[in-house]
Structure formats: C-alpha cells, structure tokens
Amino acid sequence: MDTAELIKRLASAARAGTRTVNASVYKELSRDDAYAVQDGVREALGASVGMLKTAVHPDGIGVASPIYAAGVGAAPAMRLSASLALGVEVEVGVVLARDIASSADIPAAIDHYFTGVEVCGTRYVDRSLAGPTGSLADSQSALGYVIGPGRAAADDINGLDVVIEFAGKQIYAAPAKHGFGNVLASLRAYADRQRASLPLTKGTIITTGSMCGLVPTSGSGHLVARLGDQIVEFDLV
C-alpha cells in the first residue's frame, strides 16, 4: 500500500474520532516511511506542533512525534476529548532554553522541568499490532497533553508516589518508574537523530516518557494525577 493511502486512512480516522484503521498494515514500515506518514497526517489535518513526545525504539534509536497544539494546554482549565482516549500517563517534561544540536547540549539547554499528564489515544483498532514503526506513524498514540507545575530538577523522580484518580475513583497507585530509565534518556537519544520536521529548538516543549506506563481510562470524568507533592488535574469530556 502506498504512503498516500496510509496517510489518508489515519487522517480520516482522526477527523472522525474513530479507531478504525488496521494497524498491521503499518507494522512493516521503515522508520523513514513511518515518519513520512506521521508528517503527512499532520499536513492533511492542518495541525500545528504544540510539543514533542520522545521515545527510544527497541534498537536504541531515539524517535519523536508531535502532540498537536490543539490538544496541549495547562492544568486545571484544560479539557480533552475522551472519544479516542485509551488512558493517561504521568510524565515529566522539559522546556528548552536554546537550540539542541546533539545530546552533548543536554542538560545545559534545558530551561526548566515540569510535571504533566499525557492523554494517549489511537486511530488503530488494535494498536498492539502496529509494532514500533506503526506506532510512530500514528504519532506514538499522542492525543493530548496537560502541562502542570514546574519542577526545579528531575534527578529524584524515580520512587516518588504516583496516584491517579478518575471520575472520583482511585485507578492507580505505585512508585514512579521511568519507562526509559530516567527523564532525559529519550531526549538524549532523539537529539542525535533529529528530524528536520521536528527540531529541538529554543522554546520547544518535550515530554520524555511515562512514570507509570499507560493507565487505562474509560469515558469522561475529572482526572487528578499526583507525582510526589505535585498535582495535575483536568477534565476528559
């Protein structure tokens, strides 16, 4: 299947707010082709980049996806659609004080850290069939992001309590454990593999991976997430 058709299917599902795309078709994409689909979907939707989501593929290569500006906002006023949402991730992100040319520029290029919550969603019927590159084509399930309070540093995050309440019920409680080992790991990996369409420039907001994995949610409600003594809250509607 050609790239144009792959883009069309994901963009159509995104516009409709439905999970209707067969993920297995995207599983065999090369990383470059997955990025081409990702870029094409963003262009087809006329979306702008609000922030970046970095990750590390199983082969150690750093990757990034956009979180669209329409889905990025500050707690507690932010409201996000629950229609495509699979769940949430409590995360720590950074804002860049200057451009990053390579991983050697980190952490000196970081202006500040913050606690946030990513709302994950997919256009795939079953995203487990997508594999790493299929996930990349679908912007790594990035649906929206709520930015919470700033943090002075990120050295002591692992082990802090993560507690999530949704619609009046506690749905998660465990010590924080970063999926890539530490807050800067995926940013360092991506800094040496930057894409021209997703550069690490001054002012860029970046989230770097979950402290709790994906915590499933269903339906609408008020969400309150705690990382240590910091709180991020917002509504899924």
Residue ranges of domains in the chain, CATH in brackets: 3-236 (3.90.850.10)
Rounded to an integer, the average pLDDT of 51-66 is: 98
Burial degree of 31 (CB within 10 A; 0-12, 13-18, 19+): middle
Instruction: Find out whether 26 and 125 touch, Cβ atoms under 8 Å.
Output: no
Cα(141)–Cα(40) distance, integer angstroms? 16
pLDDT in tens, 71-101: 999 998 888 988 889 999 999 999 999 999 9
For 23-31, what is the mean pLDDT?
97
3-state secondary structure 31-45: HHHHHHHHHHHHHHH
CA pair distance 53, 65, nearest whole angstrom: 5
Say if CB 187 and CB 71 are below 8 A apart. no
Q: What is the DSSP letter of 125?
A: S
* Pairing mode, strands 142-151 and 205-210: unpaired
**CA atoms within a 13 Å half-sphere pointing along the CA-CB vector of 171:** 22
Residue 102 has pLDDT above 90, yes or no: yes
* CA-based nearest residue to 65, from 124, 158, 145, 147: 145
pTM: 0.95
Report the distance separating Cα 183 and Cα 113, nearest Å.
Answer: 10
Gap between the Cα atoms of 84 and 63, Å rounded:
23
Is the peptide bond prior to 149 cis by the omega test (within 30 degrees of 0)?
Answer: no
Give the Cα separation of 64 and 208 in Å (integer): 9
Question: Each residue of 111-162: pLDDT tens digit?
Answer: 999 999 999 999 999 999 999 999 999 999 999 999 999 987 766 789 999 9
